[in-house]
Amino acid sequence: MRTILICAAFAVLGQVTALAQDDFQSLLEPKAASPSFCSATDNSVDLSNLLPNVGDIGNCGSSWAMAPAYALDAAYAHQGKKVQVSVQQIVSCDVTNGGCNGGDPLLAVQYMQDHPLASFTAYPYTSGGGKTGNCLTKSNYPYEVGQYQLLPGANSIKSNANGLPSVATMKAAMCAHGPLVSAASLGDGFTLYTGGVVGHANSLGTCAPANYNNLDAVVLIVGWDDKKQAWKVDPFYNSDFGVGGYVWVTYLNHTCALGAEAMWVAPK
């Protein structure tokens, strides 16, 4: 298995005031023109079919860019549009972040809202070898972020995971808006995962304690299974990792700090 570089330089650089509960509930309610992705009462949900593929950051700490890009792809797919936006544009052109040295997904989404995005085909991913690359943007790229929102409590992580969004809140947001971007505390033990559920005794994979200082990666939460009591997560390693590229992580006790800086992304 090839060496995997986790986004160790991830840092929460922005401060966002959580929405009032009433405002948040209104955002969770799907508009009539946009039917929901799922039902929050479903026992299991898998939205990975909306993604263009299993992400692969290679030897670049670019999960901060890949996660929101794939969330946007899924939202477009839900509208019936087969789209894969350029991760490389975000990695190379978002100067508020650190390219292959890591970054903040919230700043990445703000870049995506302010700058139209190229397709993956027009601006392919070349940073897998570990180099950020030069920015090559044009002004007429077709894809745009219309809205994004941090979940209530998503920026509350301090010494532990207390106060992060509840499982119910995350399920409701996912069903209204699609896969969720989340920061995570993975650590070196996460790369040992070969199956089972991280956080359960039957899994070789482990993760770092859930606190601010251990946030070292950004992932995409694409579903859940209540029988497993777990989230289905894409850590953007490659399709050979874990179970077809995905990892099951227990949703109990905010294992791996899932829910930190959790947000949804929607197209314009």
pLDDT tens-place string over residues 12-33: 333 333 333 433 344 444 443 4
Mean pLDDT confidence for 52-67: 96
The residue that leads in pLDDT, 209 or 172, is: 172
Closest CA to 149 of 263, 262, 68: 263
How confident is the model at residue 161, as a pLDDT?
A: 61
Phi-psi region of 244 (alpha: psi -120 to 50; beta: other; left: phi over 0): left
Quick: pLDDT tens for 123-132: 999 999 999 9
- Checking DSSP bridges between strand 145-150 and strand 180-184, what pairing results, if any? unpaired
Mean pLDDT confidence for 70-77: 97
Q: How many residues does the chain have?
A: 268
> Which residues neighbour 17 within 8 Å (Cβ) at sequence distance 6 or greater?
none
Spell out the domain ranges in the chain. 21-29+36-267
How confident is the model at residue 29, as a pLDDT?
A: 43
The encoded tokens of residue 206 equal 């482990």
Rounded Cα distance, 201 and 246, in Å: 18
Q: What is the pLDDT confidence band of residue 218, given thresholds at 50, 70 and 90? A: very high
Q: What is the pLDDT confidence band of residue 208, given thresholds at 50, 70 and 90? A: confident
Percent of the chain with pLDDT over 70: 85
Q: What is the pLDDT confidence band of residue 73, given thresholds at 50, 70 and 90? A: very high
Rounded Cα distance, 83 and 50, in Å: 10
Q: What is the pLDDT confidence band of residue 9, given thresholds at 50, 70 and 90? A: very low
Radius of gyration for the alpha carbons in the chain, expressed in angstroms and rounded? 17
How confident is the model at residue 153, as a pLDDT?
A: 84
CATH match of 21-29+36-267 with 3.90.70.10: yes
Q: What is the pLDDT confidence band of residue 35, given thresholds at 50, 70 and 90? A: confident
Percent of the chain with pLDDT over 90: 71
263 within 8 A of 180, measured Cβ to Cβ:
yes
- Decide if pLDDT at 244 tops 90: yes
pTM of the full structure: 0.87
SS3 per residue for the chain: CCCCCCCCCCCCCCCCCCCCHHHHHHHHCCCCCCCCCCCCCCCEEECHHHCCCCCCCCCCCCHHHHHHHHHHHHHHHHCCCCCCECHHHHHHHCCCCCHHHCCCHHHHHHHHHHCCECECCCCCCCHHHCCCCCCCCCCCCCECEEEEEECCCCCCCCCCCCCCCCHHHHHHHHHHHCCEEEEECCCHHHHHCCCCCECCCCCCCCCCCCCHHHCCEEEEEEEEECCCCEEEEECCCCCCCCECCEEEEECHHHHHHCCCCCEEEEEC
How confident is the model at residue 160, as a pLDDT?
A: 58
How confident is the model at residue 216, as a pLDDT?
A: 92
Q: What is the mean pLDDT of the chain?
A: 86
Mean pLDDT confidence for 55-83: 96
Scan for tokens 């207390």, then name that residue: 162
How confident is the model at residue 6, as a pLDDT?
A: 43
How confident is the model at residue 204, as a pLDDT?
A: 81
For the stretch 35-43, contacts whose Cβ atoms lie closer than 8 Å and that sit 24 or more positions apart, written own/partner, are 36/175, 36/176, 37/78, 37/174, 37/175, 37/176, 37/177, 37/178, 38/174, 38/175, 39/175, 40/168, 40/171, 40/172, 40/174, 40/175, 42/175, 43/225, 43/226, 43/227
Q: What is the pLDDT confidence band of residue 49, given thresholds at 50, 70 and 90? A: very high
How confident is the model at residue 192, as a pLDDT?
A: 92
